[in-house]
Structure 1
Amino acid sequence: MTSKHRSRLAVASVAAGALSMTLLAPATQAGADPVRPECPRVLACDWVPAAYQQTGDPADKETYGNYDTADRPRSHKIRYIVLHDTEVDFDTTLKIFQNPLKQTSAHYVVRSADGHVTQMVKNKDVAWQAGNWYVNSHSIGIEQEGVAVDGATWYTPEMYRSTAELVRYLAARYDIPLDRQHIIGHDGVPPTSASGTRNMHWDPGPYWDWNRFMALLGEPTVPTAPRRSELITVSPDFKRNKQAFRDCEKGVDLPVQASSAVPLHTAPSKDAPLFSDPGLHPDGSPGTNCAADWGSKISATQQAVVADRVPGWTAIWWYGQKAWLRTPAHIRTTTPTSGYVVRPKEGRAEVPVYGVAYPEKSEYPADFADQRVGSPLPYTIKTGQSYPGGGEAPTGYFHAPTIDSSYPYDHTYFRGREKYVTVQVGHRIAFVKASDVDIVRAR
């Protein structure tokens, strides 16, 4: 769960090669009238509206909570689904989302005990859930009752089933691919800038069974390519993949338990340091076994491109470098996979990576002050490297700084001409300019 970064957005649309804008209807007190939940018929969902109201001086339209009204997907695409955990119980979560002073929300909340689903924000609207305004603008957020460090205590069969039914329904409705570049955890959401990397969340954490969940979506991990394919899907058996992590926020070791996570090392040895995410460890210090240190581990059902192999170990391209994971011959840890990979165009030594896909500054109206553009993250894709992905990411910025859309350009979506694609550059997805890369079928 996370509060919204107070950087509201707008997105534009291109017509005849020029930037166009979608102006949305005036904001209303959304949720004031009875609403039929947007859910599959097999789930008995209910509707409990999140707060949408002024919280300060009525003259200050920027002080409000807990989401932004929009008109998705007419105004802009819904391209991603983000899975969270609540870190508090179900009832407390509903109360938080109903309190406009908390400035946080999600579209749905799933209860642990029985998988009951409550919708709190309409899918057309933008919930404040991901900690990345671009992702907020183009995603639906699902909170699951649970505490990440407590492992499978909260993640029940009922929760897996309900969340999977809901995700399948939403993916079909909004044409969202059922893969791990589009169905992501909060731990898969990129920061908007290099400086924000260490503030990103890491739920639902290493104890969410991604193999089980993707199988429930109808996308189990099975071989779809020759054994030596360069593209692999990480696929350890959850119950047998016992891992020891540490809750570094509380300074305690967590019990050894089943996990979706596989540790990554800097060399093919268990004694080699853990991989150090340059965004989390800008001083170059080694990675850690902290549950929150996402750069030192890869999750089941995430894909990667093989960089090297030695007996018992496989190296993958990971945040611009080689990272090694154990792949014993007698234990299935990876699965050969067909699909597409992204690599720098010929002649490019390296390609910048972004956490957003915003328009270029020149594409905004001259009298529009918030001409937001992306800044590169502390990662690059270098010559000789490839990463999974290639699906087009919507290029746009949704500008919604106030509760009242009567102001110029307020609740406006600006779409740019530059095309971006989504890549699995590490544990988190990211975006690269399509003009910088080639998208090719994996060998």
Structure 2
Amino acid sequence: MTSQQRIRLALALTAASAFSLALLSPAAEARTQDSRPECPRTLDCEWVPAAYQQTGDPADKETYGSYDTADRPHTGKIKYIVLHDTEETFDRTLQIFQDPHNQTSAHYVVRSADGHVAQMVKDKDVAWQAGNWYINQQSIGIEQEGVATEGAKWFTPAMYRSTAQLVRYLAAKYDIPLDRQHIIGHDNVPPTSAAGAAAMHWDPGTFWDWDYFMSLVGGPTVPTAGSTSQLVTVSPVFKQNIQSFRDCEKNIDLPAQPSSAVPLYTEPSTKAPLFSDPGLHTDGSAGTNCIADWGSKISASQQAVVAERKPGWTAIWWYGQKAWFRSPEHTRTTTPTGGYVVRPKAGRTDVPVYGVAYPEKSEYPADFTAAHLGTPLQYTIKQGQAYPGGGEAPTGYYYAPTIDSSYPYDHTYFPGGTKYVTVQIGHRVAFVKASDVDIVRTH
């Protein structure tokens, strides 16, 4: 997950997105926005604008950086907050976002040493930050200075406090639930298609203390159901959950250290193969302990549906299969949770899963030729399985291919009529058509 990889993913977003509202400003006006940062008053925060200018041949209006102007929440709701790590220093990150040729940005950047915040893109605009345009168009991205393989070094108390304060402020402002279906990591963002699964990012990674962070935000993990609940929240004690992972990019073993992650196995044994995400291991090979192999682990504060229990072990439904993790007696590994799960309707054997909730082709104007459609991912929900979720996912596409609204329908939001709901089928959030599933309350 190098900075070069981050930039390459951002390049794929320049063919941007999707109720027709021709109310957006040209580039010149975007560069003269109000210079006051959108932060809580008690937070040390400054305004450092990311680049918004044409690059290359002026005739090629599709070549520009590093975000898209919008008027959210009018041009689409803001439903998610995405946490990243920079893989760069704070100062270097600001420089990258201020260079339009890099074509990448985030709304906020948080400094490790003292929690200082720089806002670089206004909340109303769409930052190029998550590697999934559907998520981009309805999220706010927060970059945190750090390197995911060195998390304990970078993720300081000051950073946790500042990011939590900023998230609380944004969640209250835009009515975003304080749960892990809406406060997500870059590692929880789904690909837009099956082909893009292997290229998705995995930050802030296994050394980000999600339980601690969510308690600071105001969404701590507490029991909300009986001990036999099929819906659970993974909740190992961070300081006691010592794990060893491998940095497979550098071919080195990382020191054993506290982690939010719990390894997942194919059987209730540590000698069994690790779980293999078919989006990563397309050849069917076993999962690995590589820190970037998100399919072979589940993170603290994520929910899952129990498929089976054996002494010392718990199986959950994970990417269409059973995945096992250790849950020794008298050790807090899971917390019983009340909430909603989705399961296939009677008669449905396999429910398609999507990484976006875009309108159907028939829902775009007849003269709109650049229709963007969702295609199923490689994961399905099978009869007899259930997954956390059920919250409505807005169906729509924000179309913004140029810097100055010169194309027909440019900077226009197209709503869709097909209803989608969210699902946590594996490590990443995803979407299913509401007509395919039943949403059931658990206790």
**Structure 2 length as normaliser, TM-score?**
0.97
**Letter in structure 2 aligned against 1:267:** E
Q: How many residues are matched? A: 435
1:295 aligns with 2:311: no
Q: Name the structure 1 match of 2:26.
A: 27
Aligned partner of 2:375 in structure 1 is 375
Check conservation: 1:24, 1:405, Cα contact below 8 A.
no
Structure 1 unaligned segments of length 5 or more: list them. 12-19
Cα drift, residue 218 of structure 1: 1.1
SS of the residue corresponding to residue 140 of structure 1 reads strand
Q: Is the 8 A contact 1:109 1:118 kept in 2?
A: yes
1:237-276 correspondence runs (5 A): 237-276=237-276
Contact kept in structure 2, 1:244 and 1:257, CA below 8 Å? yes
The answer to whether the Cα contact below 8 Å between 1:234 and 1:335 also exists between their aligned partners in 2 is: yes
AA partner of residue 221 (structure 1): T
- 2:51 matched to 1:44? no
| Structure 2 counterpart SS, 1:317 | strand
Partner of 1:314: 314
How many angstroms apart in 2 are the aligned matches of 1:356 and 1:412? 18
**Residue of structure 1 equivalent to 2:330:** 330
The superposition leaves residues 4-59 of structure 1 with CA deviations (integer Å, 9 ceiling, x where unpaired) of: 22353443xxxxxxxx4333324333243441111111102100000000011111
Q: Is the CA contact 2:26–2:403 (under 8 Å) kept in the aligned structure 1?
A: yes
Contact 1:112 1:145 (C-alpha < 8 Å) held by counterparts: yes
Corresponding residue number in structure 2 for 1:194: 194
Q: Distance in 1 between matches of 2:122 and 2:433?
A: 31
Indicate the SS of the match to 1:414.
strand
Indicate if the aligned counterparts of 2:388 and 2:423 stay in contact, CA closer than 8 A. yes
Residues 14 and 63, structure 2, Cα contact 8 Å, conserved in 1: no
Q: Could you list the per-position Cα deviations for residues 200-230 of structure 1 after superposition, in whole angstroms to 9, with x for gaps in the alignment?
A: 0000000000010000011111111000100
2: CA distance, partners of 1:365 / 1:393:
22
Paired residue type of 1:203 = D
For residues 409 and 229 of structure 1, what CA distance do their matches in structure 2 show? Answer: 49
In structure 2, the partner of 1:350 is 350
State the percentage of identical aligned residues. Answer: 74
Q: Is contact 2:13–2:128 with CA below 8 Å preserved after alignment?
A: no
Distance 1:106 1:272 in 2: 40
The CA distance in 1 between the partners of 2:265 and 2:27, in whole Å, is 51
For 1:164 and 1:24, how far apart are their aligned partners in 2?
33
**Take 1:102 and 1:9, find their aligned partners in 2: how far apart are those partners?**
15
Paired with 1:362 and 1:374, the residues of 2 have a C-alpha distance of: 13
1:333 positional shift = 0.3
Q: What is the rounded CA distance, in whole Å, between the counterparts of 1:412 and 1:24 in structure 2?
A: 9
Deviation at 1:104? 0.3
CA displacement, residues 413-433 of structure 1 (integer Å, 9 cap, x when unaligned): 101000111111100000011
Following the alignment from structure 2 to structure 1, what is the Cα–Cα distance between the partners of residues 23 and 328? 55
In structure 2, the residue corresponding to 1:23 is in which secondary structure?
Answer: coil
Q: Say if 1:9 and 1:137, in contact at 8 Å, map to a contact too.
A: no
Aligned ranges for residues 356-435 of structure 1 at < 5 Å? 356-435=356-435
The answer on 1:8 being equivalent to 2:15 is yes
Q: Give the drift of 1:367.
A: 1.2
CA deviation digits over 1:288-332, x for unaligned, max 9? 000000000000000000000000000000001000010000211
Give distance in 2, aligned partners of 1:10 and 1:288: 35
Instruction: Supply the distance in 1 between the matched residues of 2:317 and 2:86 (Cα, whole angstroms).
Output: 32
Cα–Cα, structure 1 residues 367 and 46, in superposed 2: closer, same or farther, change >3 Å? same
- The two structures have a TM-score, normalised by structure 1, of 0.97
Return the structure number with greater relative CO, CA threshold 8 A, min gap 6.
Answer: 1
Give the CA deviation at 1:245.
Answer: 0.2
- Aligned partner of 2:166 in structure 1 is 166
The one-letter amino acid of 1:103's match is Q
Q: Provide the residue aligned with 1:144 in structure 2.
A: 144
Q: Comparing both structures, which one devotes a greater share of its residues to helix? A: 2
In structure 2, distance between residues paired with 1:272 and 1:309: 17
- 1:10–1:414: 8 Å Cα contact kept in structure 2? no
Query: Separation in 1 of the partners of 2:59 and 2:16?
Result: 21
Separation in 1, partners of 2:16, 2:410: 9
Query: The residue matched to 2:390 in structure 1 has which SS?
Result: strand
- 1:90 alignment counterpart: 90
- Distance of 1:74 and 1:221 partners within structure 2: 33
Deviation at 1:282, TM superposition (A): 1.4
The 8 Å contact of residues 27 and 53 in structure 2, kept in 1 or not, is answered as: no
Give me the whole-angstrom Cα distance separating, in 2, the residues matched to 1:94 and 1:148: 18
* Superimposed CA distance per residue, residues 51-76 of structure 1 (whole angstroms, 9 cap, x where no aligned partner): 00001111110110000000000111
Task: Provide Cα deviations, 1:184-215, integer angstroms capped at 9, x if missing partner.
Answer: 00000000000101100000000000010000
CA RMSD of aligned residues (A): 1.1
Task: Tell me if structure 2 keeps the 8 A contact 1:9–1:134.
Answer: no
Instruction: State the partner residue of 1:75.
Output: 75
Offset of residue 277 of structure 1: 0.2
The answer to whether the Cα contact below 8 Å between 2:352 and 2:379 also exists between their aligned partners in 1 is yes
Q: Is the 8 A contact 1:21 1:415 kept in 2?
A: no
Question: CA offset at residue 374 of structure 1?
Answer: 0.5
For the residues of structure 2 that align with 1:27 and 1:258, how far apart are their CA atoms?
48
Contact 2:265–2:275 under 8 Å retained in 1: yes
Q: Quote the Cα distance in structure 1 between the aligned partners of 2:285 and 2:330.
A: 33
Deviation larger for 397-406 or 114-123:
397-406
Partner SS for 1:214: helix
> Within 1, Cα distance between the matches of 2:351 and 2:388?
15
> What SS does the corresponding residue of 1:426 show, helix, strand or coil?
coil
